[in-house]
Structure 1
Amino acid sequence: MKKIYHLKTCDTCRRMLKEMDITSYTLQEIKTKPITAKQLDELYKLTNSYEVLFSRRAKKYKQMDLKSQVLTEKDYRQLILDEYTFLKRPVIINNNEVYVGNTKKRVDVLNI
């Protein structure tokens, strides 16, 4: 499976998608079509962590004062399902490999 979870209003997602050959990928815009529990659990199987998929940069992270709380894997899963902005993006699935986020190191791995 080749799939990309992204947010169309995210400048970094747009830039990365523009620089990649995405013809063989299925795109899912997470604001208009939120990630499902089944999809999130499939990502978990590839990463072994919901925390890896969780974005601490989301505005709601600060608004909800989550920094001062001790979150479990179950908490991360539920937060991502409840609010699309908590999914770190983009999430790129290339068969059995998954790339999460947009750090320089991650971008270099994708050769874009």
Structure 2
Amino acid sequence: MKKVYYLKTCSTCLRILKEWNLPSDFVLQDIKNEAITVKQLEEMNALAGSYEALFSKRAKLYKEMDLKNQDLKESDYKQYILEHYTFLSRPVLVFDDQIFIGNSRKTTQEAKEALHG
């Protein structure tokens, strides 16, 4: 699979996509306009190893809902990501059997190297 889950209204996502210079066979999914399905999230989880790894603790709603003071389980992380796109740490690049989650410099560089050798 060659796919990127991102927000087209996010300047950081757009900058990273430009930096990655994706081949034309990649599918881009704007998660605000096309919600993540259970199947898609389960596929990402299989590669990531946990729903928590896919979950953004920097999301505004995370703070507003005071989730840091709750004992969240894997099922909670999954449910929150499915309920609101902001909880997915973005961008998420799925490339063959690899997954790159989030926008840290290290992650985006590793993704770029995987894409372009």
**TM bin (shorter chain):** over 0.9
User: How many residues are aligned here?
Assistant: 112
The aligned residue for residue 17 of structure 2 is 17
The aligned residue for residue 2 of structure 1 is 2
Q: Aligned to 2:28, what secondary structure does the other structure show?
A: strand
CA contact (8 A) 2:93 2:111 kept: no
The aligned residue for residue 44 of structure 2 is 43
Q: Aligned to 1:70, what secondary structure does the other structure show?
A: coil
Cα distance, 1:111 vs structure 2: 3.1
The aligned residue for residue 70 of structure 2 is 69
TM-score if structure 2 supplies the norm length? Answer: 0.92
Q: Aligned to 1:111, what secondary structure does the other structure show?
A: helix
Cα distance, 1:37 vs structure 2: 0.5
Alpha-carbon distance between aligned partners in 2 of 1:107 and 1:14, rounded to the nearest angstrom = 12
Aligned Cα root-mean-square deviation (Å):
1.0
Structure in which a larger fraction of residues adopt helix: 2
**Identity score, percent:** 52
TM-score if structure 1 supplies the norm length? Answer: 0.96
The aligned residue for residue 85 of structure 2 is 84
Q: Which runs of 4+ in 1 moved over 3 A?
A: none
Alpha-carbon distance between aligned partners in 1 of 2:45 and 2:109, rounded to the nearest angstrom = 23
Cα distance, 1:63 vs structure 2: 0.6
Alpha-carbon distance between aligned partners in 2 of 1:83 and 1:65, rounded to the nearest angstrom = 15
- Gaps of at least 5 residues in structure 1 are none
Cα distance, 1:108 vs structure 2: 1.6
Cα distance, 1:48 vs structure 2: 1.3
Aligned-partner residue type, residue 46 of structure 1: L
Cα distance, 1:20 vs structure 2: 1.8
- Gaps of at least 5 residues in structure 2 are none
Aligned-partner residue type, residue 62 of structure 1: K
Alpha-carbon distance between aligned partners in 2 of 1:111 and 1:66, rounded to the nearest angstrom = 32
